[in-house]
Amino acid sequence: KRSDRNDSSRPSNRKFDGDKSRNFDDNKNFGDKQYIKRPKKKAEDAEDDGLVRLNRYIANAGICSRRKADELITAGVIWVNGEPVTELGTKVDPATDEIRYNNERLKREKNVYVLLNKPKDYITTTDDPQERHTVMELVSKATKERIYPVGPLDRNTTGLLLMTNDGSLAEKLPPP
């Protein structure tokens, strides 16, 4: 027969049973993680006196992604003020520098905002390797600028979807 668990005469091998000063503190549990909130860098702080990284400028001009822009820079096909640039991390002044690709002057895209009432059975992505219908098919003729969906909407979900090329706005909006 098992003895009653509250029987204090039973010896224990637990080290903290006799020490009444020790108790469990929720703040000291190993599972609790301490997170340090660091202030986010603002876009203005990241830029030096209006200078922006060349790959970012190329991406904002709608030519390609930043990674692809890095490849174009190292290939030497991007020209700044009449000189080819091959060094990654180069900063340019959009107000005064002349940036060219394929002998055409690059201009920053204007910010575009498209609201779409997403129908069912469309995927909220720019490209789908499985070749399912994407929301990009629905807005392909809405604008010449490259736009991206902001936030996810499931395939079977309908609702209002914002599509834009304004990255700073997209960062500020909370996820749905």
**Model pLDDT for residues 132-176, shown as the tens digit of each residue:** 999 999 999 998 888 889 988 888 889 999 999 887 788 888 776
Is residue 47 very low, low, confident or very high in pLDDT (cuts 50, 70, 90)?
very low
How do strand 91-92 and strand 52-53 relate by DSSP bridges?
A: antiparallel
Q: 136-145 burial, b for 16+ CB within 10 Å, e for fewer?
A: bebbeeebee
Q: Which of 17, 121, 128, 154 is catalytic?
A: 154
Is residue 29 very low, low, confident or very high in pLDDT (cuts 50, 70, 90)?
low
**What mean pLDDT is predicted for residues 56-66?**
87
pLDDT value at position 119? 93
In total, the chain counts a number of residues equal to 176
**What mean pLDDT is predicted for residues 5-19?**
57
The CA distance from 35 to 23, in Å, is: 24
Q: What strands, in cross-sheet order, belong to the sheet with 99-101?
A: 83-85, 78-80, 99-101, 104-105
Residue with tokens 């039973």: 10
Q: Note if the pTM is more than 0.95.
A: no
Is residue 15 very low, low, confident or very high in pLDDT (cuts 50, 70, 90)?
low
**What mean pLDDT is predicted for residues 56-63?**
87
Residue 50 has pLDDT above 90, yes or no: no
Residue with tokens 């200078």: 51
Token duo for residue 126: 């720019």
State phi, psi for 101 to the nearest 5 degrees: -140, 130
**What mean pLDDT is predicted for residues 71-91?**
93
- Which of these ranges, 32-36, 41-45, 63-67, 125-129, has the smallest mean pLDDT? 41-45
Q: Which domains does the chain have, with CATH numbers?
A: 44-105 (3.10.290.10), 113-172 (3.30.70.580)
Task: Examine the residue annotation and report whether 4 is marked as an active-site residue of this protein.
Answer: no
Residue 59 has pLDDT above 60, yes or no: yes
